[in-house]
Amino acid sequence: MPHKLKTHTQLQYEKHKKVYANTSNKFYQTREWKDFRKFFLSMNPLCQICKEANRIVPATDVHHVGGRTPSNGLDSSICQSLCHSCHSRITATEMQRG
Ligand SMILES: [Zn+2]
């Protein structure tokens, strides 16, 4: 059976996921992150991208605008509340941009 060809975006995303899992997974298990995320979502309960498009969608994810680094993980000024579909899309887009 022939393999289904993957799109460029999917490949980029999978590459990202791999890097992410290797380097960042521990961060997302920390008490600090979980508390920060809960607090951030309580302050920003709606997806900010959907809100700009006049859609009211509850946020489920906290996104680090421009990517997370070891020093900005808990920096609310670079974080954005997003729904899961916006988060997946924006992550794939940022990976393409490099
Ligand atoms: Zn959204």
Report the Cα–Cα distance between both ends of the chain, in Å, rounded. Answer: 34
Q: How far is the CA of 64 from the centre of ligand 1 (A)?
A: 15
Residue ranges with CB less than 5 Å from ion ligand 1: 47, 49-50, 57, 83, 86
pLDDT on residue 16: 62
Q: How far is the CA of 51 from the centre of ligand 1 (A)?
A: 7
The H or E element containing residue 79 is strand 79-82
Q: How far is the CA of 38 from the centre of ligand 1 (A)?
A: 18
d(CA 60, CA 43): 12
Sign of CA dihedral 6, 12, 13, 14: positive
Q: How far is the CA of 2 from the centre of ligand 1 (A)?
A: 35
Q: How far is the CA of 87 from the centre of ligand 1 (A)?
A: 7
Q: How far is the CA of 50 from the centre of ligand 1 (A)?
A: 4
Could you list the pLDDT tens digit for every one of the 98 residues in the chain? Answer: 566 666 777 777 666 665 555 555 789 999 999 999 999 999 999 999 999 999 999 999 999 998 898 899 999 999 999 999 999 999 888 777 65
